[in-house]
Amino acid sequence: YGGDDRYPNAASDMTWSIAALAAAPCDILIAAHPNFTGLWSIIDEHGNGDRTKLIDSSSCTRYAAAGRERLEKRLADERSPQ
């Protein structure tokens, strides 16, 4: 994200996207990667489980914070000498 000349704004675009997600009002987080949201600890692949635990007004904020942390680590790793 930090050094590809084909997409020099990748890191700033990711940062902007994460900030937008953090600011978004949400009660139920639906993500492309459910393992990042803990979905499978609440319901199984058949939809069995306590669905009321899916309602969480801080879910987008927490998801964005985790994404920000992963991005910062990735950028730091990219800056590190190999």
Mean pLDDT of 28-33: 90
Instruction: Please report, to the nearest 10 degrees, the dihedral formed by the alpha carbons of residues 61, 75, 36, 13 taken in order.
Output: 60
Instruction: Give the confidence band of 1 by pLDDT, cuts at 50, 70, 90.
Output: confident
pLDDT of residue 35: 87
Mapping DSSP onto H, E and C, the string for 1-62 reads CCCCCCCCCHHHHHHHHHHHHHHCCCCCCCCCCHHHCCHHHHECCCCCECHHHHCCCCHHHH
Q: 2 pLDDT exceeds 90?
A: no
Mean pLDDT, residues 32-54? 91
**What's the rounded mean pLDDT across residues 31-59?**
91
* pLDDT given for residue 46 in this prediction: 92
Cα gap 76→54, rounded to integer Å: 33
Instruction: Give the model's confidence band at 65: pLDDT under 50 very low, under 70 low, under 90 confident, else very high.
Output: very high
